[in-house]
Chains A and B, each alone.
Chain A
């Protein structure tokens, strides 16, 4: 039976990639954010996962509005990053785990989640930057990847309740996988931020705190809001908290210990957070 070692959650804004590229991690502006990662790296070194199941959202690299899946599960042997158009370096490719992907897909559809399956799927900065932050000095990623993309672009978006249920179904499928893999679940994006409109620059530390305070022990609290209420509370890009909610769901119903938590305002236009949870 596969072993879920815990969850790693972090903001993924493109500006982080710019800071890494420039070597700005210790600058006054960026240090409070990057200071959150030595404990993440130590925890990952101790937990020694060999597979990552990652909930993230695509920003217009792989998916466009011509065909926008609500939930898309990668089933590829390899995932590439590519030019996203705004100057980030192209990040390293990922090795997939197609057998585990298909196991998840079978289990999810059996549980009545009608997911889109992707045998070819480019992954964007929302997936690459959390890996760059977690494993900054490696030539190849130490984990194989199963990516799960959640639509946070085109309303109607899935509800927080549905995302938690998706995550729980993923977790149940992982626990039923007969392999002996050590699996880290990753949720990327957020926290509160809004890029567009007259409310651009909106952040909401009170809502972020609500999310951080309930993530470990009462994730269902995050499902009390509709997704439109989340957009109001967290900002229109703050709805990326859906990825965190799904990832928390995959950790299962057991209580989780907060290994570390870092919160800093702002990076770019975003209230940034990083969290590690492990089974209590």
Chain B
């Protein structure tokens, strides 16, 4: 039985089937000419790839959670996000209800949970340097 992970939908066969057209469109954005064609006529380009009404609406609204619910996979959606000028912090903010500044601060705050024995550079006895040492404070 599929595990249930909070805040997470594993991209399984059901999602892949649901999202095929949306992901196929995003895959096409590896080609600069296709990115330009999308920007010139977004809805027409979506229709050419056979996106569902829900998928077209999610794209038009830049609604990332709706794109995921419609079967979008983040590896491919990232190519659409690039066209829209969004990086993965922007995507994170959009999905978690935070501002981009808040989302970035949350990522940086995770450093506080890193044990000093784990964080930073450690050189082993096999290195051409000296014994194990920590470089960063």
Contacts and interface: CB of A to CB of B under 8 A. Distances in A.
A197 B7 contact: yes
A65 B16 contact: yes
B53 interface: no
A260 B122 contact: yes
Contacts, number: 187
A82 B27 CA distance: 13
A60 B30 contact: yes
Nearest to A261: B122
Contact of B119 (A61, A65, A83, A264): A264
B49 interface: no
A262 B8 contact: no
Contact of A259 (B29, B114, B126): B126
B135 interface: yes
Given A155-B11, A263-B119, A86 B3 contact: no
B70 to A, nearest CB: 13
B2 A228 contact: yes
B92 A201 contact: yes
Interface stretch (B40-48, B54-62, B100-108): B100-108
B125 to A, nearest CB: 7
B102 to A, nearest CB: 10
A266 interface: yes
Contact of B129 (A39, A228, A261, A262): A39
Interface string A263-278: 1111011010000101
A232 B83 CA distance: 30
A181 B20 CA distance: 43
Nearest to A280: B126
B10 A198 contact: no
Given A64-B24, A196-B64, A265-B114, 12 more contacts: A39-B121, A46-B128, A84-B30, A86-B79, A195-B92, A200-B91, A202-B7, A258-B122, A262-B122, A265-B113, A266-B108, A268-B89
Interface of B: 2-3, 5-13, 16, 20, 23-24, 26-27, 29-32, 35, 64-65, 68, 73-79, 81-83, 87-89, 91-92, 95-96, 103, 106-108, 110-111, 113-115, 118-129, 135-136
The 7 closest A-B pairs by CB, nearest first: A199-B7, A86-B82, A198-B7, A85-B79, A257-B126, A196-B74, A200-B92
